[in-house]
Each structure stands twice: as C-alpha cells, then as structure tokens.
Amino acid sequence: MQRIVTLEDVGRGLEELSVIDPRLARVREMAGEVPLRLSEPGFRSLASIIVAQQVSRASADAIFGRLERLVDPLTPQAILAAGETVFRDAGLSRPKQRGLLAVAQAVADGLDLDRLCVLDAGEAMTLMTAVSGIGPWTAEVYLLFAAGHPDIFPARDVALQTAVGHALGIEPRPAEKALAAIAESWSPWRGVAARLFWAYYRELKGREAVPPA
C-alpha cells in the first residue's frame, strides 16, 4: 500500500480523483492549495487530535498550545503525572482529560503508536478504538496524518459533510452514512479526497477545519 508522504503523492491522488469522478476537477480548482499535512507518529500527534475533538481548529490550537507549555515534554508519563489543575489551566474538558489519560495509560502499557502506522487500516482502527477516548474519527485522522494512509475518509467530520454537500449540490448536507457511501467511489484515494474537501471548506468558509497534524 502506497502511503501519502509527499506533495507529489497528493498531486497524483488529485489527478486520479479527477478521472474517477470528473466533478472533483472543479472542486480542485476552487479548493486552491491542498496541503500534505503529515505529522510524526506518536503520542503528541494523537494527543493533538484528541484535543481537536468537537471544537473549532482555532480553539484546538489554543488549548493544545497551552497544554504543551504546561506539560513539557508532552509524554504519556508526563500526562499521567500532570494532575487536574494542569488540565483545567489548559482548558481541557473533563471528557478530553479522561481521553488523554486513557490514551497515555494505554501507551504506557504497550500500545505502539508507530506500529499502528504500518498495519492495515482495519486492524489499526480496531486496536485504537479499543482504547477509551479514541473513537473512529480520532483513529481515522491519526491514520491519515501520522500514517499517511491513502484510503481513509472521516465521514463523521462535519466540515467534510458541509464541504461535500456544498461542492456536489447535496441538500441537506450528507450525514455520516451517506457521505461514507459517496466516498466509496473515490477509493483508493479517499485520504486525498478528504484533504481536497478540507481545503475546499477553507476556501468556502475562510477558516481552517482540517484537524491539527
């Protein structure tokens, strides 16, 4: 399986997508730059995605920035030792505190976040979502941006639902199951399609919605 690890990979995927679904050629024109957004696998990357759950990109960046200043270096051991005051000062909700602690404990107990990046997506998703605090969206985003997986599309993502609905003239915007069905036709480049529609959302709304990488 080829990973998405360079901008050339993104460009090749965009070319293929325009052939697979000619509607996406226009989406590509309107989306402008489609970035790679590849992050180093590991706890920091996964922690940033957990922080980004169900908040705006700007809020996620602010909260994660505070967390990194308060917990330096940001390691599983440091998170487990941090204490509630640190989490509160960072601005983390209680569910995210619990999620971060659960993930930190899982990594301390042997969950190998680097190894997940070389597994089949289904196997990696199963291992990740077995950890409290890691839902399907979090696992999908980690595999997209830390593993460079080429064929994952986080259909639960509201920004992607909005972007696809607007770009393809679907009213109301497609919900998770409908969007997942639409995205099936973009395989094996669904990871590039997700990047494309996050870029389209940026141009549509004037703000980033792609999760931190």
DSSP, residue by residue, 8-38: HHHHHHHHHHHHH-THHHHHHHHH-------
Query: For 82-126, what is each residue's pLDDT tens digit?
Result: 999 999 999 999 999 999 999 999 999 999 999 999 999 999 999
Judgement on whether residues 57 and 113 belong to the same structural domain of the protein: yes
Does residue 213 register a pLDDT over 80? no
Domain of residue 114 covers 43-145
Q: How far apart are CA 110 and CA 112, in angstroms?
A: 6
Residue 210 lies in a domain: no
What global pTM score does this model have?
0.94
Judgement on whether residues 197 and 160 belong to the same structural domain of the protein: yes
Judgement on whether residues 70 and 28 belong to the same structural domain of the protein: no
Query: Is residue 207 exposed (0-12), middle (13-18) or buried (19+ Cβ within 10 Å)?
Result: exposed
Query: For 146-200, what is each residue's pLDDT tens digit?
Result: 999 999 999 999 999 999 999 999 999 999 999 999 999 999 999 999 999 999 9
Instruction: Give the pLDDT score at 1.
Output: 61
**Could you give the number of structural domains in the chain?**
2
CATH number for position 22 = 1.10.1670.40
Instruction: Give the pLDDT score at 211.
Output: 87
Instruction: Give the pLDDT score at 44.
Output: 96
